[in-house]
Amino acid sequence: MSKQSETLRNIKYKFTLSPSEQNLLSRYYIIYWRRDYLFETFKDSPYITHQDTQYIPVLASPAAEIMSCEEVRISFRKEKNADIGYAIIKTSTKMKDSNHVHRI
């Protein structure tokens, strides 16, 4: 696999990105949401809409685990000049106390 192919694959599927991968993005941040809020955000659409941008949801944890947890971590990212981004979704084992995350 070429370096460019690997980078594009990481952007679509890897939860945490390297600084060089982050430089290819116009948006990249991680937030914590209640699981119920997550499913409410895209019950009428196959996309998650956040801050006026649509994201394709990508499960990084098994669906059964996500359905049974109270909180999920979501890594939002969007490539520069792209119309749509990716939301990588993982289970959250515990509430984090950090100024770098946003909870809804």
Q: How confident is the model at residue 104 (pLDDT cuts 50, 70, 90)?
A: very low
Instruction: Please give the share of the chain, as a percent, with pLDDT higher than 70.
Output: 88
Q: How far apart are alpha carbons 27 and 12 in whole angstroms?
A: 13
Are 7 and 24 in contact by the 8 Å Cβ rule? The answer is: yes
Token code pair at residue 45: 């659409």
Q: What is the predicted pLDDT for the residue at 102?
A: 53
Average pLDDT over the chain, rounded to an integer:
87
Domain boundaries along the sequence of the chain:
3-91
The secondary element (H helix, E strand) that includes residue 41 is helix 35-41
Which long-range CB contacts under 8 A does 23-26 form with residues at least 24 apart?
24/79, 24/80, 25/77, 25/78, 25/79, 25/80, 26/78, 26/79, 26/80, 26/81, 26/82
User: 36-54, pLDDT tens digit by residue?
Assistant: 999 888 788 899 999 899 9
